[in-house]
Chain A
Amino acid sequence: MLSPQFKALYKKEFQSFFKTPLGYVFLVIFLFGLGYMTFEPGRGSFFLLREASLRAFFEYVPWMFIFLVPAVSMKLWADERKRGTVELLFSMPVTVKVAVLAKFFAAWTFVGLALSLTFPMIITVLILGRPDMKIIFLGHISSMFLAGAMLSVGGFFSAMTKNQVVSFILSVATCFILLMADSPPVLELVGTFAPKYFLNIFESLSLQGHFESMGKGVIRLSDLCYYAIMISFWTFSSIVLLNENKSE
């Protein structure tokens, strides 16, 4: 089913994370950061909750992702275009669609690997009590969807510019707005120029809202559709964009 081009590119992209310090820095910061935030002695901390759940953990997942996921996606295309290897790639019998998907899934797998390495958290709560495994499982699925959505946003901005830093900043900003779309400050800002019905649509685009809803242990069709649309929209936009500007 999968074309050899997809497989070759997927494998190469995934391995490339471990060819540079990027992959290791990502893993260390992500795991340390999440671990620290989960157990830090402030409000909402794991210990203060006094329950065997990963609520404190999942609360910080979006905030780790917002800086780290764009760092993974920023090089996907920007680097390739800057070095000119994009010319090498697309003179092979590889379509833009296959290449975009292969890179996206490789990056997604990498973030998935990082997330799976937080397994000691699960062991911890299992030792401490009897957690609701369904909620923990759905929390991870939800985190993966969140990462997928952010990666597709980042992939788009990486395809837009040759400069990795610009791609990073644009991705972080866009992810932040999407994440906070249902919060009063962002809504107020949008409300200054947009009509009321648009505000309602905009509010429902919030990544945070959909992330939390699934993390409560309910699979809603609307959440699944939301992620599917989000990822396809940004990925499709990347394909269109790259078809236009790959040779510039």
Chain B
Amino acid sequence: MIVVESLCKNFDDFFAVKDVSFQVGKGQVLGLLGPNGAGKSTTMRMLTGFINPTSGHAKICGHSILQEKEKAQSHIGYVPENAPLYDDMDVREFLEFIYDLRGLPREQKVSRVEEILKLCVIEDVESQKIETLSKGYKRRVSLAQALIHNPDVLILDEPTDGLDPNQKHEVRKVIKNLAKEKTIVISTHILEEVDAVCDRAIIMAQGKICFDGTPASLKAQSPTGRLDDVFRSITMQKEALC
């Protein structure tokens, strides 16, 4: 579903992402891990077509993110970091706007929006202005926005960041439910999250991949069996090398 081949991104003389390659198949949940500034968000932004890679290539459901950007984008649902939304719209209006913006058939608009409001459990706030919502609700609205066209690929940039434990649990539950028929990429720096939802983990540091495997094999690398320790040792090693 997602094929990434030696993706690179430079900002002037700063290398944000260096030669990143991986593949994700259907039904997989990939966790992108790494310290802040490791290049997770930049990688995701390149996949969603928001920024162009300096070099390298990626395909979403067989569509190139460079030559067939719009086609690739129509297969992706994306929750950007901090879930930015149009604050002065109300929830239903916002979802209808995104529905139209995606160019989906007009006849099913009302029923689809209804469906998605239910799926993301935001029916009770449907006529509230987005700026008045709590963080948890905003995150769910952002998730709803990403799901409205029933995409094959979901890209979530720190979807549980800043939420309380209950809200985190809710969001993870939604993600787990979706995992069966979709390809999901989640970035996070919370390690328990990888354990909770991902079946594969990639650790990035300094723009490079330094681990690619299952959460279980990641744990096995540590004598204590704790993710924290492995994460520390892998990313610190990398930083020392650079």
A106 to chain B, nearest CB (A): 13
- Contact: B49 with A4, CB < 8 Å? no
Contact with A along B8-49 (1 / 0, CB 8 A): 000000000000000000000000000000000000010011
Q: Which of A6-14, A120-128, A132-140, A219-227 contacts B (4 or more CB under 8 A)?
A: A6-14
Q: Which of B98-156 contact A (CB under 8 A)?
A: 98, 100-103, 145
Question: What bracket does the count of chain A residues touching chain B fall in?
Answer: 20 to 34
A20 within 8 A of partner (CB)? yes
Determine if B228 is an interface residue (Cβ-Cβ < 8 Å).
no
Contact B70 A88 (CB under 8 A): no
Question: Which residue of the partner chain, among B80, B82, B89, B97, contacts A91 with CB atoms under 8 Å?
Answer: B80
Residues of B near A51 (CB, < 8 A) are none
Residue from the list B71, B73, B82, B84 in contact with A92, Cβ < 8 A: B73
A/B pair count, beta carbons within 8 Å:
66
Which residues of B have CB within 8 Å of A183? none
Closest to B78 in A: A91
A87 contacts partner chain B, Cβ-Cβ < 8 Å: yes
Q: Is A19 an interface residue (CB 8 A)?
A: yes
Least CB distance, B76 to chain A, in whole angstroms:
7
At the interface, yes or no: A90 with Cβ under 8 Å from chain B? Answer: yes
CA–CA, A19 and B86, complex, Å: 11
Instruction: Using A84-B82, A95-B70 as known contacts, say yes or no to A90 and B97 having CB atoms under 8 A apart.
Output: no
State how many angstroms separate the Cβ of B73 from the closest Cβ of chain A.
4
Contact of B48 among A8, A91, A246 (CB under 8 A): A91
- A93 touching B100 in the complex, CB below 8 Å, given contacts A85-B85, A85-B86, A88-B80: no
Q: Most chain-A CB neighbours within 10 Å: which of B50, B80, B82, B101?
A: B101
Assess the B103–A93 pair: CB atoms within 8 A: yes
A20:B88 contact, CB within 8 angstroms = yes
Taking a contact as CB atoms under 8 Å apart, the answer to whether A83 and B87 are in contact is: yes
In the complex, what distance in Å separates the CA atom of A87 from the CA atom of B81? 9
Interface pair A87/B103, CB less than 8 Å apart? no
**Smallest distance from the beta carbon of B61 to chain A beta carbons, Å?**
13
Asked if B74 is at the interface (CB within 8 A of a chain A CB), the reply is: yes
Secondary structure call for the A interface: helix
Give residues 1-30 of A contacting B (CB, 8 Å).
3-5, 7-9, 11-12, 16, 19-20
> Interface size on B (CB < 8 Å)?
28
Contact between B101 and A9, CB atoms less than 8 A apart: yes
- Which residue of A has the minimal Cβ distance to B41? A87
Give A236-248 as 1s and 0s: 1 = Cβ < 8 Å from B's Cβ atoms: 0000000000110
CB distance from A183 to the nearest CB of B (A): 40
Alpha-carbon separation in the docked complex, A135 to B237 (Å): 77
Give the residue name and chain of the A residue nearest to B48 (CB).
A91
Inter-subunit contact B101/A94 (CB<8 Å): yes
Q: How far is the CB of A74 from chain B (nearest CB, A)?
A: 16
Knowing A12-B97, A84-B84 touch, does A247 contact B73 (C-beta < 8 A)? no
Please tell me if the beta carbons of B100 and A7 are within 8 angstroms of each other in the complex. Answer: yes
Q: Is the CB of A91 within 8 A of B100?
A: no
Residues in chain B near residue A95, CB distance under 8 A: 70
* Residues of chain B contacted by A19 (CB below 8 angstroms): 88-89
Indicate whether A85 sits within 8 Å of B88 (C-beta atoms), given known contacts A5-B101, A8-B101.
Answer: no
Choose from A4, A7, A16 the contact partner of B88 (Cβ within 8 Å). A16
Min Cβ gap A77→B in Å is 14
Report whether B101 and A91 are in contact in the complex, using a CB–CB cutoff of 8 Å: no
List 7 tightest A-B contacts by C-beta distance, closest first.
Answer: A8-B100, A84-B84, A4-B103, A93-B70, A91-B48, A19-B88, A91-B78
Extra 10 A-B pairs, beta carbons < 8 Å, given A85-B84, A91-B76, A92-B98: A8-B97, A8-B101, A11-B97, A12-B86, A16-B88, A83-B87, A87-B84, A91-B80, A95-B70, A246-B50
Give residues in A with beta carbon < 8 Å to B.
Answer: 3-5, 7-9, 11-12, 16, 19-20, 83-85, 87-88, 90-95, 246-247
A-B contact pairs, 22 of them (CB 8 A): A4-B101, A4-B103, A5-B101, A8-B100, A12-B89, A16-B86, A16-B89, A19-B89, A84-B81, A87-B45, A87-B80, A87-B84, A88-B80, A88-B84, A90-B50, A91-B49, A91-B80, A92-B73, A93-B69, A93-B71, A93-B103, A247-B45
